[in-house]
Structure 1
Amino acid sequence: MVDETEDEALDADQEEDGESKKKKKLSGKFLVLFVLLPLLVIGGGAGGAYFAGVFDAPEPTEEEIAAKAAEVNKKVVFYDLPEMLVNLNSGNSSSSFLKLGVSLELADEASIPDLELLIPRIIDNFQVYLRELRKEDLNGSQGVFRLKEELLMRINSSAAPVKVNDVLFKEMLVQ
């Protein structure tokens, strides 16, 4: 009798193991069919829509671009510095000169009176820097770009409360 109960218990355990294996197989199929497949479809659709440009903002019209440009240009003010003529560092007895005409781009007209008070300091700062340049430093567009960036950095440090947005070359002659 005891043996029969143990056999029945073993049969019941084996049946439960069989059912759990079926459940595991069913749950794996369920996971693939009802969870992963829809995620892949949704992800693929979203990726395709992104690359097709569905989520991109519409491009601005010509009128909007012109209005923004007019708004920016309305605020910008230019201030011309006096022309400068400096002796470049040549390292030998021959002399080279740089004639430079510069215009400064300011954010608004309210900063012009403050800038005019600082013009002697700005010109002095420019002169000291420009006298140490060599003719080779100004070769090509890279040399001119470095000069422009250096002058912008120096003017913003010497005219501290006033913010200069850009340094524009009106004239630049190296002889």
Structure 2
Amino acid sequence: MSAAPEAAEATEGAKGGGGKKKLLLIAVPVVLLGAGAGLWFTGILPGLLGMGPPPAAAGEGATAAADAAPRPPAFFDMPEIVTNLNASGRRPVFVKLRSKLEITRAEDAAAITAAMPRLLDLFQTHLRETRPEELRGSAGTHRLRTELVARANIALSPPPGSTQPAPRVTDVLFVEILVQ
């Protein structure tokens, strides 16, 4: 009979020690995660891991600061486009579109002027395949804008083997859209 009370005391001792072990196994990772998160969000840990911004070389500080300064966008006026839409019925439906291209650099205006025939062709081809109901509402205007930006960037892509950076159109701003 003396074995039974000893076994009961041993299991009670194991339960008490097991609770402390569980607490220790949970508390240590939580504290480590908290410390790691604190170091990460204060910016210390990314710097220690080499994930911070690269240090500027001597003499390059002024040019790096000038390059990092945001440039104001430049705008390029597109010629007026009048074309028919893809309308079902006997009566033709026309669209008159005046727009501006928002470009990243003002120096790209010459490249855009040189690519103007391709730009106008891509814009008119897209508009001729557009149905009048697709241009209704703000969602239709947004879809048209997105499609024209994509087509403008395709038209302005440099020829293969060119080392010159391609002009980039960031937005098409509508001055006038008239569907009649």
TM-score tier, shorter chain, comes to: 0.5 to 0.7
Q: After the TM superposition, which residues 45-64 of structure 1 pair with which residues of structure 2 at under 5 Å, given as runs?
A: none
Paired residues, number: 139
> For residue 18 of structure 2, what is the aligned residue in structure 1?
28
CA displacement, residues 104-148 of structure 1 (integer Å, 9 cap, x when unaligned): 011111211111110110001111111122211111111111111
Task: Report the AA paired with residue 88 of structure 1.
Answer: L
> For residue 85 of structure 2, what is the aligned residue in structure 1?
88
Q: Give the structure with the higher percent helix.
A: 1
Give the alignment partner of residue 159 of structure 1, picking from 124, 145, 156: 156
Question: TM-score w.r.t. structure 2 length?
Answer: 0.64
SS of 1:75's partner is: coil
Task: Report the AA paired with residue 142 of structure 1.
Answer: A
Structure ID, larger Rg: 1
> For residue 49 of structure 1, what is the aligned residue in structure 2?
none
Displacement of 1:23 in angstroms is: 3.6
Shift >2 Å, 4+ stretches: 13-23, 28-32, 34-39
CA distance in 1, matches of 2:106, 2:127: 28
Task: Report the AA paired with residue 35 of structure 1.
Answer: L
Give the alignment partner of residue 121 of structure 1, picking from 104, 118, 121: 118
Question: TM-score w.r.t. structure 1 length?
Answer: 0.65
The range that moved more, 157-166 or 88-97, is 88-97
> For residue 173 of structure 1, what is the aligned residue in structure 2?
178
Displacement of 1:14 in angstroms is: 7.7
Using the aligned pairs only, state the percent identity. Answer: 35
Displacement of 1:36 in angstroms is: 6.9
CA distance in 1, matches of 2:168, 2:74: 12
CA distance in 1, matches of 2:144, 2:136: 10
Q: Which stretches in structure 1 are left out of the alignment for 5+ residues?
A: 1-10, 47-54, 57-70
Q: Which stretches in structure 2 are left out of the alignment for 5+ residues?
A: 35-40, 43-68, 158-165
Does the aligned pair in 1 maintain the 2:104–2:167 contact within 8 Å? no
Displacement of 1:87 in angstroms is: 1.3
Task: Report the AA paired with residue 121 of structure 2.
Answer: D
CA distance in 2, matches of 1:30, 1:92: 82
CA distance in 2, matches of 1:144, 1:83: 17
CA RMSD of superposed structures (Å): 3.3
